[in-house]
Amino acid sequence: MEEGKKTIGLLTSGGDATGMNAAIRAVVRAGIAAGMNVKGIMRGYAGLLEEEIVDMSSRSVADIIHRGGTILYTARCKEFMTEEGQRKGAEICRKHGIEGLVVIGGDGSFRGAGKLAELGINTIGIPGTIDLDIACTDYTIGFDTAINTAMEAIDKIRDTSTSHERVSIIEVMGRHAGYIALWCGIANGAEDILIPETYDHDEQRIIDQIIRQRQSGKKHHIIINAEGIGHSVGMAARIEAATGIETRATILGHMQRGGAPTCKDRVYASIMGAKAVHLLLEGKTRRVVAHQAGEFVDYDILEALAMKKEIHSDFLGVGRELIRV
């Protein structure tokens, strides 16, 4: 660490997302290129409170752009939810000379960043979550890799589902949001897509549709169910009992969060990482980097957190149009 240089910190927080390493690399290298010291904070806000802070160099982020996970590790931290924890975090930043902090994570992590900004630490958020559930941006790090991973897995399940002429319910992640389910449902040509934003809990409709489609010659029936609806195993049992057709449930789980990032996740994460550093250089604080209508932009964190995200009607429309045939 060199004296007299501005120092920024960097952490990953909340659920990890593939592509976070590309963003870390970009922050470190853009920071160093701009003449700053960059410190990595391990394990999100938990590591900040434990002072797990390491100097980063260009070499410390070599060979990571293609790797899943986060080299800084990530955590959820209850203590940081308290005012006392946040004050302690800001003090530790000051103690280590950290004037600006880049936080890669989801909405919860941005709330924490907003609190640190109020306490005098310049903070910039980068959206990192496979769920795509951050309202201010149409891109979040990890979503692209997650949908491609899930899509490939669902293709494989479809093969065996067809051979056995079964119904398959495949549950994908997304917490309270249905984006992964909707994208995969469309990409995998599913017979049904269940997402929390629109699901009406009408299982009889699903059952009637399966029976109708079997009568019209369909050999399999793929239902993509979002985690926010859940209960795939029970749903499978009820569908099998009502239709007499063998039904299996598969929960894809954490495989959706790992693996090598797609080209898009590497490139967008790199651009967002560099942009976060540029915002700090301009003296900006409490901002979140976003991608909207083809451009990389930034918003005030509190305004961004107050925005409401709605699924574009074109996605819902095509989903509905293509599955009823």
Q: Check residue 12 for interaction with ligand F6P (CB under 6 A).
A: no
Q: Is 15 in the site for ligand F6P (CB under 6 A)?
A: yes
131 is catalytic: yes
Number of chain residues interacting with ligand ADP (CB under 6 A):
17
- Applying CB under 6 A, which of residues 108, 185, 261, 319 lies at the interface with ligand ADP? 108
**How far, CA to CA in Å, does 221 sit from each of 102, 184, 200, 241, 249?**
45, 15, 20, 15, 12
Q: Which H or E run contains 192?
A: strand 192-194
CA distances from 167 to 158, 180, 188, 207 (A): 9, 20, 14, 11
Looking at residue 49, its amino acid is L
In the complex with ligand ADP, which residue's Cβ is closer, 129 or 262?
A: 129
From the list 31-39, 96-104, 123-131, 310-318, the region that binds ligand F6P by CB under 6 A is: 123-131
> In angstroms, what is the minimal distance from the CB of 129 to ligand F6P?
5
Q: Per-residue x/- marks for ligand ADP, 113-142, CB under 6 A?
A: --x-------------x-------------
The residue within the footprint of ligand ADP, chosen from 13, 21, 145, 148 (CB under 6 A), is 13
Element (H, E) at 281: helix 263-281
How many Cβ atoms are within 10 Å of 189's Cβ, its own excluded?
Answer: 12
Cβ at position 135, least distance to ligand ADP in Å: 12
Bridge partners, 124 (sequence order): 102, 287
Q: Minimum distance between the CB of residue 240 and ligand F6P, rounded to whole angstroms?
A: 26
> Which of the listed partners (ligand ADP, ligand F6P, none) does 173 bind, with a CB threshold of 5 to 8 Å by partner kind?
ligand F6P
Per CB under 6 A, contacts with ligand ADP among 39-58 are: 45
Return the number of the residue (192 or 265) whose C-beta is nearest ligand ADP. 265
CB atoms within 10 A of CB 182: 28
Which residue among the candidates 16, 131, 133, 144 is catalytic per the annotation? 131
Contact 90, 120 (CB under 8 A): yes
The phi-psi region of residue 67 (left if phi > 0; otherwise alpha if psi is between -120 and 50; otherwise beta) is: beta
Output phi, psi for 47, to 5 deg: -70, -30
96 versus 175: smaller Cβ distance to ligand F6P: 175
**Which of ligand ADP, ligand F6P, none does residue 100 bind (CB under 5 to 8 Å by kind)?**
none
Choose which of 164, 175, 214, 278 interacts with ligand F6P (CB under 6 A).
175
For ligand ADP, the closer CB: 39 or 115: 115
- Please give the Cα distance from 301 to 148 (Å, whole number): 29
**Footprint of ligand ADP on 68-97 (CB under 6 A):** 76-77, 80-81
Tell me, what DSSP letter sits at residue 262? P
The site partner of 227 among ligand ADP, ligand F6P, none (C-beta below 5 to 8 Å per kind) is ligand F6P
How long, in residues, is the chain?
Answer: 325
Q: Concatenate the DSSP letters of all residues of 143-181 into one string.
A: HHHHHHHHHHHHHHHHHHHHHTT-EEEEEE--TT--HHH
Residues labelled as active-site residues:
131
Question: What is the contact surface with ligand ADP in residues (CB under 6 A)?
Answer: 13-15, 45, 76-77, 80-81, 105-109, 111-112, 115, 129
Question: What is the contact surface with ligand F6P in residues (CB under 6 A)?
Answer: 15, 129-131, 173-175, 227, 257
